[in-house]
Amino acid sequence: MIFKVLTLFPEVILSATNYSILKRAQQKGLIKIEAINIREFTLDKHKRADDYPYGGGYGMVMTAQPIIDAYESIKPGRTHRVIYLTPQGKRYNQQYAEQLSKEEEIVIICGHYEGIDQRVIDMIVTDEVSIGDYVLSGGEYAALVLIDSISRLVKGVIEEKSTQEESFSTGLLEYPQYTRPFEFRGKKVPEILLCGDHEKIRKWRRYQSLLKTIKNRPDLLENFELTDEDREFLIK
């Protein structure tokens, strides 16, 4: 998987992805992250990459020329997605991450100020994506969210089993986890996790997942098919 990030702040992307799992994934050659500085492509003599909006209004808009030239310079492969990060985009979620993890190459455009010239979107963008209903100061933080969530789904980056039971992949939030010590400041680990009976533990975890989802994200249950076992838990 290759990520090519078009940004005014390449260091934000390169430094934040140089740790832990993403660092190891790059060292192993499982993912590649390139950051291309849009400003290096501007033909403006003052190196400006933004200008006032036509029609007036607050703020500045990133100009089309340096973004399109930066895009053309990276010579993207034949099959690739071009994602523009914007609060006006389609809402990102785990399913979207899974879909994107099947791509070979993803180009990400990070906006700043009041966004980018619409003609860039019309000419090269395949997906306008928002990571949530709030406004960030720049697309770099959203790009990092995409890179991290997609990379961990790339084969070999983390143990496959750990993505199978986690939140959203089952349709429910994940059950609570505990580790040693058994007792911490008077609070003990639930006894059932020490009983050694895997079926009992599985049932307890499923019940806890249901409870957590009802408490924190009842909206997830609207499109969720409860199993007979789930219904039994909930009636009790």
| CA distance linking residue 129 with residue 132, whole number of Å | 9
Residue 134 sits in the site that holds ligand ADE (CB under 6 A):
yes
Q: Are strands 105-110 and 183-184 parallel, antiparallel or unpaired?
A: unpaired
Binding segment toward ligand ADE, per CB under 6 A, in 44-52, 72-80, 101-109, 133-141: 133-141
Report the nearest approach of ligand ADE to the CB of residue 126 (Å): 15
Binding segment toward ligand ADE, per CB under 6 A, in 38-46, 98-106, 124-132, 152-160: 124-132
Candidate list 53, 76, 87, 171; residue touching ligand ADE; CB under 6 A: 87
Residue 149 sits in the site that holds ligand ADE (CB under 6 A):
no
Residue 213 sits in the site that holds ligand ADE (CB under 6 A):
no
Candidate list 59, 77, 132, 176; residue touching ligand ADE; CB under 6 A: 132
Question: What SS3 string covers the chain?
Answer: CEEEEEECCHHHHHHHCCCHHHHHHHHCCCCEEEEEEHHHHCCCCCCCCEECCCCCCCCCEECHHHHHHHHHHCCCCCCCEEEEEEEEEEECCHHHHHHHCCCCEEEEEECECCCECHHHHHHHCCEEEECCCCCCCEHHHHHHHHHHHHHCCCCCCCCCHHHHCCCCCCCCCCCCCCCCCCEECCEECCHHHHCCCHHHHHHHHHHHHHHHHHHHCHHHHHHCCCCHHHHHHHHC
Residue 131 sits in the site that holds ligand ADE (CB under 6 A):
yes
| CA distance linking residue 105 with residue 8, whole number of Å | 20
Q: Which is nearer to ligand ADE, 6 or 210 (CB)?
A: 6
Does 228 appear as a known binding residue? no
Q: Which is nearer to ligand ADE, 62 or 142 (CB)?
A: 142
Q: Which is nearer to ligand ADE, 76 or 87 (CB)?
A: 87
Q: Phi and psi of 89, rounded to 5°?
A: -85, 180
Candidate list 27, 75, 79, 135; residue touching ligand ADE; CB under 6 A: 135
Report the nearest approach of ligand ADE to the CB of residue 112 (Å): 9
Residue 77 sits in the site that holds ligand ADE (CB under 6 A):
no
Residue 60 sits in the site that holds ligand ADE (CB under 6 A):
no
What count of other Cβ atoms lies within 10 Å of the Cβ of residue 66? 24
Q: Which is nearer to ligand ADE, 92 or 175 (CB)?
A: 92
Report the nearest approach of ligand ADE to the CB of residue 91 (Å): 9
- Which residues are near ligand ADE by CB under 6 A? 85-87, 130-132, 134-136, 139, 142
Binding site members for S-adenosyl-L-methionine: 111, 131-136
